[in-house]
A and B are shown apart, each in its own frame.
Chain A
Amino acid sequence: MSKRKISRREYLKYAAAGVIVAAGAIGGYAAWQSTRKPLEKDEIIIGVLAPMATRQGSVQRDAAALAIEEINAAGGILGVPVKMVVGDDKLDPDAAVSEFRRLVTVENADVLTGGYSSGIMAATMEPMAELKTVFLADASSPAHPAKVAEDYEKYKYWFRITQNNGASFAFDMADMIDMLREKGVPVDKIYIIRDEHVWADDVEKFFNPLLTERNVEVVKNVKIPRGYTEYEPLIIEAHDLGAQVILPIVALSGTGDVLAKHWATLKLPVLLAGHDLAALDLGFWEKTEGACNYYIFIADGGVVQTAPPTAMCANFIENYKYKYGNPPEAHQGYGAYDAVYLYKMVIEEATKAGEANPLDSDTVVKYLEKTATLENPVELTRNIAFYPPGDENKWDHDLAWGDKYVRNLISEWIDGKWYEIWPEDKANAELKLPPWFK
């Protein structure tokens, strides 16, 4: 009996001691944190928040690490070394939101880059607004800049740097139809297979008038759910309805490989050309056992390794290969790399202009808007410019689309390789039609 009492008392003693130590540690930490002044920073901290289990996430971490390494080797940002902190959003909105908060409030990140999934981006824009942290982001939904447009003061910290607004695929695909016509493919009827998702609605909003302008009839528009696989009946139907082109607008359904396979199996005289995220994968040929041959698609992000658009881009690909043994695994890498360099530029600009606190988020936003403008895009791995606040399409702070800026190139899988076929000045192969297309 007495033994029991003692042990419980001991236990309580230890527990109490533990609580006091823990509380002291946390309190001390908090006190230390509150005495820090941002200007006296001995390092600048860049956070990368992305799904690290996917190549689209890990490439952002690796590309940002490379940029930071290069910048530190050249003396950092204004003599201050740069450090990277990493968060994994695990494609889970809860994890993303908590990681965002952790990177900013615990790791003291000054700026964040990253993202991938549109849904998660929408969720992380809330802590971004609350914590007032600049986020140079990926994802492609028009819903994100629309938030900036609707409540500028709150969401102005968001900039899209990695790829164009998904709706801009409409412009690229209209160009694709023009190109096909130019090369002698009579395109007047198309069959659209699209994601059951708002992003595809936004593409169509811009795409439909462009189709009307070109007298192209949409014989049918099929919405498919995530993970959809029954493409054969659709391909046969497209052919029955007289379409020359099956035009996918798919990213989230995630089964573009099955679409390519069914199309290649049936070999009906109808082209497969449009936007399909699955095709933008260097391993796509192996994964589809070559069924993707002659698949024409929009290459997202404005870069293909075989045709780097700028000198910095060629350099980046080389350095990446040297450091990691392979070229960037996904186009998100270019965005993350650009994000780090653009941030450096902006801090330097702000300091030069005599800003009292160049690392302050509001200041950074101001200088991002001033530095990468439609008039003077910044040449990084791509030519980066942001649409200004008050954009007519509500694309505020979105990556500018166009030949002068970033746009998607038209690509094709031909005999095991991913080729660029348009625009002509960047192309490294000619359009090749499938032999069964007459």
Chain B
Amino acid sequence: MMNVLLKSTSFKDKRILGILIFVAVSLIIARITPDALTYIIGLTYLFIILAVSWDIIVGYAGQINLGHTVFVGIGAYTTALLQVPSRFQGTFFEFLSEMPRIPIFASIFFGGIVAGIVGFLIGVITLRLRGWYFALVTAILPLVFIETTIIGSGVFGGEEGFSVGLERALAPTSLGKYYIALALMLVSVTTMFMIVNSRVGLKFKAVREDFYLAESVGINTVNYKVLAFVISSFFAGITGAAIVHYRSTVSPGLYDIPLMLLIILAAVIGGLGTILGPIVGGFIVYLTRYWWLKGAISAFTIAGLPINDDIILYMILIALAILAPEGLWVRVRRFVSET
């Protein structure tokens, strides 16, 4: 019966079927998982948006962005400050402290807008050059961002950040947050999927595959790279903002190198330039890091070997990059479709 169903449906229908199954499973599973796991899976959905949005600029437009977490952070602080404008009191920006409170979903969206604008400015400066400068400049951004939040501690709260309050959470319970995260993930990923499969997306790929050819057929490569960067930053910003209301707190440590590496790991495991790959990669990486990989490694440290979870993750990353540079997920899919 199932077999007949599968056989009779076209590829596109199957994809929709896949999504429906995924949504159904997601909705049900949250009812039976313990609260802490529900909470983590919700965060995993948000993390998936980060991995997919990173894939837009790296996998599709071929520009190596090492500062993606900065845009996550910009979105996060934007919404946090919009919700707690009193932080501006006693600073140069005092006038902002009287801002009217806007609904949290509006301020989450605004977080994305601000991240997109910053992405535009940085993109215009750096994307005129070939990829390497972009990689280096974006690698510097996290340090600039974190030092800014620390020097401006009056507003940004320094290393501790600040709390936006449980009353401004996405939802009062973990389950509620989980559903909102799921919805946000579905909307964002679908939007990004549609973008990369549109004519614009094809041009991104043209820019990535052959810079000179793209130029010669009249594609303004800089404009498309900047566009890809703005889209990628926008979704990073929205997600960062959503995470603030998920956790009820914001602090610079959340947007530092460890998160950047997890994003890279997720996209690499899944396969760059595939959208679906980073989704699978995001699931595996985030849940492994924050749920499954607990104490499994402490056996090594007890034996006196200098090994911890992070080292294992980075080793896996290197091994994958060498053995399956096109992504593990792509391999698995190929394997499945061949059998």
CA distance A125 to B166 in the complex (A): 11
A122-B249, A123-B247, A126-B249 known; A225 vs B147 contact (CB < 8 Å): yes
Assess the B147–A86 pair: CB atoms within 8 A: no
Assess the B253–A129 pair: CB atoms within 8 A: no
Query: A residues within 8 A CB of B159?
Result: 118-119, 197-198, 252
Q: Which partner residue on chain B sits nearest A52 by CB separation?
A: B298
State how many angstroms separate the Cβ of B18 from the closest Cβ of chain A.
13
Q: Which partner residue on chain B sits nearest A96 by CB separation?
A: B253
Query: A residues within 8 A CB of B137?
Result: none
Most chain B Cβ neighbours within 10 Å, of A4, A9, A130: A130
State how many angstroms separate the Cβ of A354 from the closest Cβ of chain B.
31
Tally the A-B contacts, defined by beta carbons under 8 Å. Answer: 115
Query: A residues within 8 A CB of B103?
Result: none
Q: Which partner residue on chain A sits nearest B7 by CB separation?
A: A5
Is A291 interfacial (CB 8 A cutoff)? no
Assess the B151–A119 pair: CB atoms within 8 A: no
Give the contacts of A60-100 with B (CB-CB under 8 A): 86-88, 90, 92-95, 97-99
Query: A residues within 8 A CB of B153?
Result: 196-198, 201
CA distance A39 to B90 in the complex (A): 51
Q: Which partner residue on chain B sits nearest A26 by CB separation?
A: B32
The number of chain A residues with a CB under 8 A from chain B is 52
Q: Is the contact region of chain A dominated by helix, strand, or loop, or is it mixed? A: helix
* Mask: chain B, 134-164; 1 = CB below 8 Å from A; 0 = not: 0000000000000100110100011111110
Query: A residues within 8 A CB of B3?
Result: 5, 8-9
Assess the A94–B254 pair: CB atoms within 8 A: yes
Which size bracket describes the interface of B in this complex? 35 or more
CA distance A11 to B6 in the complex (A): 13
Assess the A197–B150 pair: CB atoms within 8 A: yes
CA distance A361 to B132 in the complex (A): 55
Query: B residues within 8 A CB of A95?
Result: 289-290
Q: Is the contact region of chain B dominated by helix, strand, or loop, or is it mixed? A: helix
State how many angstroms separate the Cβ of A306 from the closest Cβ of chain B.
29
* Mask: chain B, 24-66; 1 = CB below 8 Å from A; 0 = not: 0100110011111101100100000000000000000000000
Give the contacts of B245-264 with A (CB-CB under 8 A): 247-249, 251-254, 258-259
State how many angstroms separate the Cβ of B170 from the closest Cβ of chain A.
13
Most chain A Cβ neighbours within 10 Å, of B7, B36, B258: B36
CA distance A29 to B33 in the complex (A): 9
* Mask: chain A, 94-114; 1 = CB below 8 Å from B; 0 = not: 110111011011100000000
Give the contacts of B237-296 with A (CB-CB under 8 A): 247-249, 251-254, 258-259, 289-291, 294-295
List residues of B whose CB falls within 8 A of some A CB.
Answer: 2-3, 6-7, 25, 28-29, 32-37, 39-40, 43, 147, 150-151, 153, 157-163, 166, 247-249, 251-254, 258-259, 289-291, 294-295, 298, 308-310, 336, 339
Q: Give 7 A-B pairs besides A123-B254, A197-B153 with Cβ atoms closer than 8 angstroms.
A: A23-B29, A30-B33, A94-B43, A94-B254, A126-B248, A143-B160, A198-B158
- Can you report 20 residue pairs joining A to B where beta carbons are below 8 Å apart? A9-B3, A12-B2, A23-B32, A26-B33, A53-B308, A88-B295, A93-B251, A95-B290, A98-B40, A98-B290, A101-B35, A101-B40, A106-B34, A118-B159, A123-B161, A123-B251, A125-B163, A126-B166, A196-B150, A225-B151
